[in-house]
Each structure stands twice: as C-alpha cells, then as structure tokens.
Amino acid sequence: MSDFRFDQCRSASTVWETKPRKLWVKEAINAAVPVIAVPLFSDQSKNALLAEHHGFGLILQKNDLSVETISDALKKITSDTRYATAVKTLSKMVNNKPVSAAHLLVKWSEFVAEFKTLENLEPAGNKLNFFQYYSLDLCLRMTITTFKSKKPKFE
C-alpha cells in the first residue's frame, strides 16, 4: 500500500485528475496545473499524449486503475517539479503571446475592409458542385465498381 496522503497536496489546484476532453489541454495550461489523465475513448488518448509529450501530465490507463497506481501518480506529479515547471512555462507562453487575439481581429477586419474579398483566401470547396461536395461522384464510381466485379462461383 502506498504512503501518499491527500493532505500533502497544498491546494485543490495542485493537480487535476480528469478524462482528457477536447478543451482540457487549454484549461490545464491556462490554470498552470499539471494533470493526471485517464483517457477513455475518442480523441482523449491524443490529448493525454500531448500533455505527456509536453511534460505537464501523466497517463493512467483505465484498466490499470487502483489505489496504488493513483496514489503513485499523485505522489510523482506533486513531488517532481518538472511537471509544474513545464505547465507554468507553457502557461506563460500562452498568456504572453506576441500577438493577441484582439489585435489579430482588428488587423484582419482592417485587411478585409481594405481589400474586400480575395480569391486566394477563398477555400477551394466553394467552387465544388453538389456531386463533388458530397463525394457522390466517388460513391457512384465505387458502387459501380463493386457490382461490376466478378463474384466467385461456389460449386
């Protein structure tokens, strides 16, 4: 049995244990909190790997969950300063971006007001016809190919 005690955590925001949903990485970085991720399905594994790759998270697999693994992960993430340092650095980077979102909005609004629409900024999908947009041409071609192919004869 592990000797980790929850009162060793200095505050509730010392570490997050969560399933890594879509905006989870952004929330963790903004809060500058290291994480313990338990991916269950969909893109959660990718998000958990992202946290682990950038050094601010640990991954626990749902099949391996036990009191020992959770307590070892909590002990590791609270005692190893690399996790806190990595997430604090990322948080500073995100919060001190060279160009803010508000500044970009103003610049692009001025750009569009001056030049109206530019063909090179329009997505290529705008010029597709109905059949191409919904890939009906490919579906039709695949259907014809499937039904025209020789079927094996069973004797």
pTM here is 0.59
* Cα-to-chain-centroid distance, residue 54: 12
Task: Give me the pLDDT at residue 84, please.
Answer: 93
> What's the CA gap between 23 and 43, in Å, rounded?
11
- Mean pLDDT over residues 95-124, rounded? 85
pLDDT in tens, 4-57: 443 444 444 566 656 667 788 888 898 899 999 888 887 888 889 999 999 999
- Mean pLDDT over residues 117-136, rounded? 83
pLDDT in tens, 102-111: 999 999 889 8
Of 70, 84, 10, 9, give the one whose Cα is nearest residue 36: 70
Spans of all domains in the chain: 6-95
Task: Give me the pLDDT at residue 42, please.
Answer: 76
If one looks up domain 6-95 in CATH, what number appears? 3.40.50.2000
**Residue 17: strand, helix, or coil:** strand
Distance in Å from the first CA to the final CA of the chain: 65
* Cα-to-chain-centroid distance, residue 53: 12
Strand partners, 14: none
